[in-house]
Amino acid sequence: MHWYEKLNQYFPIEEMKSRDHFESLLKERSNIYHKDEGSNHVLMYVELDNFVFIDYLFVSKDARGQGLGHKLLEKLKRREKPIILEVEPIQYDDSDSEKRLRFYKREGFEHASSIGYQRRSLATKEINELEILFWAPNDESEEMIFEAMKKTYKMIHTYKDQHFYGQSYQPVEEVLTFTEPTENKDLLDHL
């Protein structure tokens, strides 16, 4: 099965990029947008000078629990840069969402509790809320993660959106918000 089909079957429509969007990023932004693909995985990621953003990480059901996700993350961690990703909040009717968060917690990721992310899906027109997780090898701040997310949103998520989808995503200021960290319990601490 083609890598795009694997992603398309696993990720919800409101989170997916079009095939043309992916192919354009891989071709026109090949200096920063990368694909790591194997028979049991697809990893799409952005690498800039001061961070890595995981756009999509798919491990086939047959390979889960065998350490493949860990190995893929370890390869990125060796770059000694913060790693950032977006995940769906826990959905109690979807056991994968809780397993996914537990996996990232085991891998040393933290929940960016001061960063909010809400984007209207161009496919469904519904608001899609995601959580931001990050791994910070040098204790990078949530403010730094927020700035990296804004850059990713503008450079990757909305790249040629009008061309690919016939309309534009919301501006970054409407999608990403930052509030000073509070004493709230961390999402990952509950797992």
Q: Closest by alpha carbon to 128, among 96, 174, 188? A: 174
Bridge pairing between strands 115-120 and 110-111? unpaired
Residue 131 CA to its chain's centroid (Å):
9
pLDDT for residue 89: 83
Per-residue pLDDT tens for 133-149? 999 999 999 999 999 99
Domain-wise residue ranges, the chain: 3-190
Reading the block at residue 57, the tokens are 């990480």
> CA geometry: angle at 56 spanning 125 and 25, to 5°?
80
Reading the block at residue 164, the tokens are 């690919």
HSE of 45 in the Cβ direction (CA atoms, 13 Å)?
A: 22
> CA geometry: angle at 108 spanning 106 and 113, to 5°?
110
Percent of the chain with pLDDT over 70: 91
pLDDT for residue 53: 98
Q: Residue 55 and residue 45: Cα distance in Å, rounded?
A: 5
Q: Bigger pLDDT: 167 or 88? A: 167
Choose which CATH entry (3.40.50.300, 3.40.630.30, 3.20.19.10, 2.60.40.10) describes domain 3-190. 3.40.630.30
Q: pLDDT category, 181, cuts 50, 70, 90?
A: low
Q: Residue 28 and residue 58: Cα distance in Å, rounded?
A: 23
Q: What is the CA radius of gyration of the chain?
A: 16
Q: What is the DSSP string of 140-188?
A: --HHHHHHHHHHHIIIIITTTHHHHHSS-PPPHHHHEEE----SPPPGG
Given a contact cutoff of 8 angstroms between Cβ atoms, the answer to whether 90 and 101 are in contact is: yes
Q: pLDDT category, 185, cuts 50, 70, 90?
A: very low
Per-residue pLDDT tens for 98-145? 888 899 999 999 999 999 999 999 999 999 999 999 999 999 999 999
- Measured from the Cβ of residue 146, the count of other Cβ atoms closer than 10 Å reads 20
Q: Residue 69 and residue 18: Cα distance in Å, rounded?
A: 24
